[in-house]
Amino acid sequence: MAESWVNSAQRIGADLHLELELSGSGGRRAALIRALREAVRGGRLAPGTRLPPYRSLAADLGVARNTVADAYAELVAEGWLTARQGSGTRVAERAALPGAPARVPKKAPPRARRPRHNLRQGTPDASSFPRAAWLASYRRALQQAPNEAFGPGDPAGRVELREALAEYVARARGVRTEPGRIVICSGFAHALRLLFPHVLRGPLAVESYGLGFHRELLSAASVRTVPLPLDEGGAQVGELGRERAVLLTPAHQFPTGGPLHPERRAAVIDWARARGGVILEDDYDGEFRYDRKPVGALQGLDPERVIHIGSVSKSLSPALRLGWMVLPERYVDAVLAVKGEREAWASVLDQLALADFIVSGAYDRHVRRMRQRYRGRRDRLVAALAARAPHIEVTGIAAGLHAVLRLPPGTEQSTVKAAVWQGLALDGLAEFRHPEAMTAAPDGLVVGYATPAEHAYGAALDALCGVLPPG
């Protein structure tokens, strides 16, 4: 229990009212030392202030004289106080800057209030991470890892993972490759950083809607992005000009939805061959298609003209920070040179665990299970809108983890604001529009139906329907 003593006024050149609270563990000597330190540190005892003599302070506090003497001696040794014959004990001049105001700890900035409902795109259901299966793979990988795996990592990535990925992307995505042409990275953004500007140069053609973060990353690397118009067939690749590279989401355009039309898939390959160019294929959610089998990767049409980039950020979790590039042979050495002599981004142990997770079949089982779950969530979203907001058109629902809701003209901004007021997190379509896009900008919402936990999804849908503009 804390004890407090307050000394009486002492006339030592000037009135000194010194209020000390002696509390805490360690006895009265330790408590007095702490109290005097805090008085100096907080500015209540300014540099040069003369302290009461041992006997006076001991009498005021009701402690032994030796207790005060020992406390003073300790603080002198620490540099908080000085003691000279004839001038008594004073606060050291260096204990605080002369004239400096007492340092008041800054309050931590208030945290932004977390929304009650989260329908933002971009993340899977975190509660569905396959913890038991991943732990089993991690244990097996750890037990079976060769000793050299615990040394500096190969910048290409662990061969076990590259072999597993070569088999998986061939089977699941129609990618044609071999382990030597796969380079492990920490995700799509890391892949862009490795490619630009040291391996590839701008300008880079991009779809007129996409992640602003990627555009900012490229801009920071002095790469100019040129927007391609979009329609129901995907990017209008016939508008490609003098660019030597183009970034596409051919399996499922982000965020507007829909695959790249077969004729345009062939046309962009022809463009790359004729121009000596390269296509960057962002296969961000290629496994999740609900109306038929997933559309095969564009890379399968010409492995020497397409850089295929994938990750587990949507299928498993962005927390794993694991992705891969399937490279044309001519780019492998250049990318590895940029990456450096050692793996500095992707955990070797996580790579080994993912390799086991794929080889054991656990990855396929997880994707099938989540495909079924996300399809159910999509269906619930569509049904809720049909019942409560039939005037709202829903697009981009054949695949992926989000849908686009087309809004009446002029209502997007007010709807997003209303969502914020109701504690609902979602994104307006305009947020993803390229600033130089020339085509019309329809109003809409990008609604991620994968993010909420299963038990929270119904309430999130209710909140969404509550903020939509009337028909």
The Cα 241–Cα 130 span in angstroms is 45
Q: What's the pLDDT score for residue 294?
A: 76
Whether pLDDT at 56 is above 50: yes
Q: Which residues are 183's β-sheet partners?
A: 325
**290 pLDDT tier (thresholds 50, 70, 90):** confident
Closest CA to 176 of 164, 188, 185, 167: 167
Tens digits of per-residue pLDDT, 341-379?
998 889 999 999 999 999 999 999 999 999 999 999 999
**386 pLDDT tier (thresholds 50, 70, 90):** very high
> What is the average pLDDT across 163-178?
96
* Candidate from 148-152, 188-192, 283-287, 425-429 with smallest mean pLDDT: 283-287
Q: For helices 362-388 and 348-359, what crossing angle results, to 10°? A: 80
Q: Beta 230-231 vs 225-228: how paired, if at all?
A: unpaired
Question: How far apart, in Å, are the Cα atoms of 430 and each of 256, 400, 462?
Answer: 11, 19, 23
Distance of CA 343 to the CA centre of its chain: 20
Q: What's the pLDDT score for residue 99?
A: 45
Residue type, 252: H
Closest CA to 251 of 260, 241, 262: 260
**6 pLDDT tier (thresholds 50, 70, 90):** very low
Q: What's the pLDDT score for residue 464?
A: 96
The helix (run of H) or strand (run of E) holding residue 394 is strand 393-395
Between residues 10 and 376, which one has the greater pLDDT?
Answer: 376
Q: Beta 306-311 vs 5-6: how paired, if at all?
A: unpaired
Instruction: Please work out, in degrees rounded to the nearest 5, the angle formed at the alpha carbon of residue 181 by the alpha carbons of 165 and 122.
Output: 50
For the residues of 284-301, what is the DSSP string, one character each?
Answer: TTTT-BSSSSPPPPGGGG
Whether pLDDT at 407 is above 90: yes
**48 pLDDT tier (thresholds 50, 70, 90):** confident
Whether pLDDT at 34 is above 90: no
Q: What's the pLDDT score for residue 17?
A: 58
Closest CA to 277 of 309, 312, 302: 302
Percent of the chain with pLDDT over 90: 66
The Cα 424–Cα 461 span in angstroms is 10
> What is the average pLDDT across 204-230?
94
Between residues 59 and 205, which one has the greater pLDDT?
Answer: 205
The Cα 411–Cα 416 span in angstroms is 9
Tens digits of per-residue pLDDT, 235-263?
999 999 889 999 999 999 999 988 999 99
Whether pLDDT at 81 is above 80: yes
Q: What's the pLDDT score for residue 106?
A: 55
Q: What's the pLDDT score for residue 98?
A: 43
Residues 6+ positions from 353 with CB-CB distance below 8 Å: 134, 137, 138, 141, 142
Beta strands per DSSP E along 238-358: 245-248, 278-282, 306-311, 323-326
Whether pLDDT at 18 is above 70: no
Closest CA to 277 of 226, 249, 243, 248: 243
333 exposure class (CB count in 10 Å sphere: 0-12, 13-18, 19+)? exposed
b/e burial code for range 318-332 (CB count within 10 A of at least 16 → b): eebbbbbbbbbeebb
Sign of the Cα torsion 108, 114, 120, 121 reads positive
**Encoding tokens for residue 303?**
């492995």
Beta strands per DSSP E along 119-267: 182-185, 204-207, 225-228, 230-231, 234-235, 245-248
Q: What's the pLDDT score for residue 469?
A: 93
Q: What's the pLDDT score for residue 118?
A: 93
**114 pLDDT tier (thresholds 50, 70, 90):** confident
**Encoding tokens for residue 203?**
């300008």
